[in-house]
A and B are shown apart, each in its own frame.
Chain A
Amino acid sequence: MIILRYAFYRLITMLLTLLLVSALIFFIINLPPGNYLTNQIMELQATGQDAGVAKAKFLQHEYSLDRPLIEQYLIWIGAWPGPYGFSGMLQGDFGWSFEFDQPVIDIVGQALWLTILVNLAAVLFVYLVALPLGVLAAARSQTWVDYTSSFIGYLGLATPNFLLALILFYYGQKYLNLPIGGLMAPEMEGEPMSFAKVKSILLHLIIPTFVIGTSGAAAMMQRLRANMLDELDKPYVETARAKGMSPTKMLMKYPLRMALNPFVADIGNLLPSMISGSVLVSVVLGLQTIGPALLTALKSQDQFLAGFILLFVALLTLIGTMISDVLLMLLDPRIRYGERK
């Protein structure tokens, strides 16, 4: 019951935060003088192509870019009527990309799902690798297990991701016959979902997941190890030993539960850092995620496309923090009932 109420409360605050973030994003994108269309108009006028100018002017009016900024923002989110009535984010109209000359939704549509897929895979990878390794490193601290896992971890942190990607592609192809680049075999693109397509996607996912996840996993592992080591000295561990518990069971039940808190709290931070961190990797690996599109959009001040992608990333972050907050409540009774001093 408490959980439900809390989740509801968090949902409301999440929506408010999202609203605030949308305003921030919109105004920051518009901070540099001009926008895609004014840039274009200036360029066309300089080269004397008046026909193009007329089209750009038409677009400017069509997308209300000639109105005051605050109105533009409200029209964008759908809280103010534009030339064709209410038609913004709230109504499911994500706008037009000038750079690609297509609706935003058509450009990012499939990429969105692939982005989520790649990043979820990477997050899963981070947790699946960091959890056992971190616990093991703490339980066998200052032995070769600890040193080896730390060494590999630091290596993962220190190697640039794109370099790692290139190395893995080369050896993955050479020895394991793993595919290079893309998220599926080229002939599968545009095909309806099938078993073969899923298999192809999974095969293509292996290296990106590894590349995007390694540094996160290394950092997370070190944090978990440090947390565990702190917990291992606590008196309740001694109590558990005095009960006659076996070391492994004791480790899993008591210190690990305590050390999990920061681990869970990281979910929220992990998603955005992975998405922004994976932009470069996506470019190198040729993944059709929203990363490369975001890069292009930001460079050319393609404001609707950039705004939508940034808002989407913000949404993912908020969902991530909400999940971790609710999980923390489930995990820790002290948070659930509000610790009295």
Chain B
Amino acid sequence: MAAFLKVTDLTIGFNAPEPIIDAVNFSLNKGETLAIVGESGSGKTLSCRAILGILPQTAQIRSGQIMFNHLDQQIDLLKLSERCLRSIRGNSISMIFQEPMRSLSPLHKVGHQVAEVLELHLDWSKRKIKQAVLAKFERVGFPDPERAYRAYPFEMSGGMLQRAMIAMAMIAKPDLLIADEPTTALDVTTQAQVLGLIKDLQSETGMAVILVTHDLGVVANMADHVVVMNKGRVMERGEAKLVLGAPAHPYTQKLFAAAPTIPETSEFVPPPPHDDLILDMQDISKTYQARSASALQPAVIIKAVCDVNLKLARGKTFAVVGESGSGKSTCARIALGAELPNIGGRVLFKSQTDKTPIEVQALTHAERVGFQKQAQMVFQDPFSSLSPRMQIIDTLTEPLDIHGIGTKSERNDRALEMLEQVGLNGSMLRRYPHAFSGGQRQRLSIARALTLNPKLLVCDEPTSALDVSVQDQILDLLEEIRDARNLSYLFISHDLAVVSRIADEVAVMRRGRIVEQAPPCTLFANPKHPYTQALIAAQPEPDIHRTIDLNLVSLGAGSSTSWAEEFRFEDKNIPPLMELEPGHMVRCHG
């Protein structure tokens, strides 16, 4: 029997003579899941769009064939007229995109956008269509489908929107679903739930799935077959068991080596002693007032951070882990004095062991300038945190310029030194940021943070915008610099695997509160809090034998009232942080 979808010798190029996709082959059987794995720029997304015929205008298909089994007929999608292709898009083959927030029109109701698929392809009455959409909304897990139908995208969370996108892709009962990094923009626990949903729907309808991802952990949880791509070519192809179990191609092996995992067991390392703290945040809370809908209603108070105590020992790394909205970034901003904590909170910073600590929340302007020299930040997105209109040398010397340090030539020497320290070549000084890759840019922003010779570096998700292999290098670099210069890091991340590698102490935050805190070895070997357990369970690992335990995830990541008795949060009754063993604190009733 012929394959359900067979891509042969697909070659796509843009204006340049070298193709971007070079003779790609893969095939897929009915009901199976094929994962296309690769780093950014590998051509995985482009290959998928070619199937649907939604390539960018400047792309040229140079050769190849995409045979698709449509109503028991073999058709070549590349030869199909635009009109015929339109009747297949959304109907027989549908697609889910990476960023649900941006993939839905902000001006149209969610339900309407989903219903539109049926309006385009079927002659159903409005009523029948709405019924179908509501049924599908219920299936993908909306607690109140009617309300979701009427909502606008900006009224929903990312996870909910991705469910709506899935509903939209599934509504016409397609034979093939193409999911392009469907969970990359989501939190781990949401990712686990969305992946589970796709899997369930697949087993219900028997559709085939092409899953495009950069995450081997996701592949291990989802795929029957795997295609590994790099620079537009297929590196390795085969059954998931074989490719993941014994990767043959060096590139696949490299990807595996770089994929961060949570260690199952590790040696016990005691938490760092708290006798020489560089940063000591005491009783930090932060509330925001959101403007209410009208002048008559009271303002809404949002508690971003509640009663956080955080102690960072000199030369160590303290990691704060949590999902979006957990308050971890607010903590980072407060630590740097970019935001003031509520009255009563104190942020103590001690630049050297024998100095008296300064209170960051109460600095005068002049003191603040001095403090800024000691504490710097590395941002998440290296693409938007470097000015595209400044040469690298200007970006790197700007901090020195602001603080009036050194002569011009001294500053330039310093910039060169920094560039070399982060593993870049001095000849790059005159270039603009666009000439650098994501990893190189993140190196640049680390170099910028280091020019003032700070003592404390706050890293806000420094690797989450990067490919795994690049992430690995950046983490190496951060570790190396920390040890060489005795730096201390406050490390913000949503990725437990990254944290397990770099941190000396980890705090897990949820909805503004620390729920568990311990050194990584203790935390990952013996997680106590249901939320921590959910985070660990949701982490996809590149091991097909260790699949995500969705029950554990939904229990811990669900409402805090559904947790076991001893951990339960109720309005006023919030359990205290208890020290269960030395250095291991859990928010639970005694």
Contact = CB atoms under 8 A, between A and B. Distances in A.
B120 A340 contact: no
B149 interface: no
Given A258-B105, A332-B107, A244 B121 contact: yes
A235 B180 CA distance: 12
B371 interface: no
A254 interface: yes
Contacts, number: 81
B90 interface: yes
Interface string A306-341: 000000000000000000000000011110011110
Contacts of B54: 238, 241-242
Contacts of B106: 236, 258, 333-334
A174 interface: no
B95 interface: yes
A234 interface: yes
Nearest to A243: B90
Most chain B beta carbons < 10 A, residue from A235, A334, A338: A235
Given A239-B103, A254-B105, A257-B105, A244 B86 contact: yes
Interface string A243-285: 1111000000110011000000000000000000000000000
A235 B181 CA distance: 13
B202 interface: no
Nearest to B178: A242
B30 interface: no
Interface string A213-244: 00000000000000000000011101111111
B97 to A, nearest CB: 6
Nearest to B294: A5
B401 interface: no
B414 interface: no
A331 B107 CA distance: 8
Contacts of B89: 241-244
Given A238-B54, A244-B86, A245-B120, A333 B97 contact: no
A244 B88 contact: yes
Interface in B103-129: 103-108, 116-117, 120-121
B155 A239 contact: no
A257 B108 CA distance: 9
A235 B291 CA distance: 30
Most chain B beta carbons < 10 A, residue from A242, A245, A257, A331: A242
Most chain B beta carbons < 10 A, residue from A243, A246, A257, A334: A243
A3 to B, nearest CB: 13
Given A235-B97, A333-B152, A340-B290, A245 B103 contact: no
B103 A238 contact: yes
A253 B115 CA distance: 14
B579 interface: no
A339 B107 CA distance: 12
B97 A239 contact: yes
A24 B68 CA distance: 72
Contacts of A253: 108
A238 B87 contact: no
Contacts of B105: 236, 239-240, 254, 257-258
Interface string A117-135: 0000000000000000000
27 contacts: A235-B98, A236-B102, A238-B54, A239-B95, A239-B103, A239-B165, A239-B168, A241-B52, A242-B52, A242-B97, A243-B94, A243-B117, A244-B89, A244-B90, A244-B117, A244-B121, A245-B86, A245-B116, A257-B108, A333-B106, A333-B154, A334-B152, A334-B154, A337-B155, A337-B293, A339-B154, A340-B155
A243 B116 contact: yes
B480 to A, nearest CB: 37
B99 interface: yes
A235 B86 contact: no
A244 B291 CA distance: 40
Nearest to A6: B294
Given A239-B95, A243-B94, 18 more contacts: A236-B102, A238-B54, A238-B97, A239-B97, A240-B105, A241-B54, A242-B90, A242-B97, A244-B91, A257-B107, A257-B108, A258-B107, A331-B107, A332-B107, A333-B106, A333-B154, A334-B106, A334-B152
Given A242-B95, A338-B293, A236 B86 contact: no
A337 B97 contact: no
Given A241-B54, A243-B116, A235 B103 contact: yes
Interface string B50-94: 001010000000000000000000000000000000111111001
A257 B104 CA distance: 13
A333 B107 contact: yes
B121 A235 contact: no
Most chain B beta carbons < 10 A, residue from A234, A244, A254, A334: A244
A334 B153 CA distance: 9
A296 to B, nearest CB: 46
B86 A246 contact: yes
Contacts of A242: 52, 54, 89-90, 94-95, 97
Interface string B422-440: 0000000000000000000
B150 to A, nearest CB: 11
A337 B152 contact: yes
A270 B108 CA distance: 28
B117 to A, nearest CB: 5
Contacts of B52: 241-242
B155 A236 contact: no
B107 A244 contact: no
Contacts of A243: 89-90, 94, 116-117, 120, 168
A214 B252 CA distance: 62
Contacts of A246: 86
A340 B103 contact: no
Contacts of B121: 244
A232 to B, nearest CB: 10
Nearest to B107: A257
A4 to B, nearest CB: 13
A246 to B, nearest CB: 6
Most chain B beta carbons < 10 A, residue from A236, A338, A340: A236
Most chain B beta carbons < 10 A, residue from A257, A333, A337: A333
A235 B103 CA distance: 5
A258 B52 CA distance: 25
5 closest residue pairs by CB, A with B? A244-B89, A243-B90, A244-B90, A242-B95, A235-B103
Contacts of A257: 105, 107-108
A325 B543 CA distance: 56
Contacts of A333: 106-107, 152, 154
